[in-house]
Amino acid sequence: MALLDDFRMNKDGLRKVLGDLEAEIMEVIWSKSLHTVRDVYEELRLHKKIAYTTVMTVMGRLAEKGLLRADKEGTAYHYYPTMSREEFERETLKKVVDSVMEFNAEGAINYFAEKVVKEGKEEQIKALEELLRKAKGGH
């Protein structure tokens, strides 16, 4: 899954790694469990002007990227997410962090620690302390 080819830091949420329409379609599929191009198109059409063929093209692209699985059922294709939103976010986060660590591991770790200490909530600080204790072999 080549999802981080175009990481966009200036975008929010899914739009950091997906195009705007790709993100909208995935949000509809995850939240409403709609599976056909027609169903997704009808949902999107409620709040924006969009062509059916555009939705069909983008859903095909999402299948090529591995985010959707296309199954032919009767005369229509039904598209199913290959992972939950949470799994997608976790996998994307792993790729982002791995990329940052390859770029500058020491800088990334220092920044992360400073950020958690300065801006973190008490439970985040305790979670970090626990991870460090486990990493050192403590109980």
Per-residue pLDDT, 3: 54
Per-residue pLDDT, 125: 83
Per-residue pLDDT, 15: 80
Stated as kind and residue range, the H or E segment containing 78 is strand 76-81
Give the residue from 40, 36, 5 showing the smallest Cα distance to 21: 40
Q: What share of the chain is helix, strand, coil (3-state, %, to 5)?
A: 65, 10, 25
DSSP bridge pairs for 77: 72
Per-residue pLDDT, 138: 66
Per-residue pLDDT, 123: 86
Q: Tell me the per-residue pLDDT of 40-59, one tens digit each, with 9 for 90 and over.
A: 999 999 999 999 999 999 99
Q: Are strands 68-73 and 76-81 parallel, antiparallel or unpaired?
A: antiparallel
Per-residue pLDDT, 16: 79
Contact assessment for residue 104 and residue 112, using Cβ atoms and an 8 Å cutoff: no
3-state SS class at 120: coil
Per-residue pLDDT, 4: 55
Q: For the whole model, what pTM was predicted? A: 0.76
Contact assessment for residue 43 and residue 50, using Cβ atoms and an 8 Å cutoff: no
Q: Which residues of the chain have pLDDT under 50?
A: 1
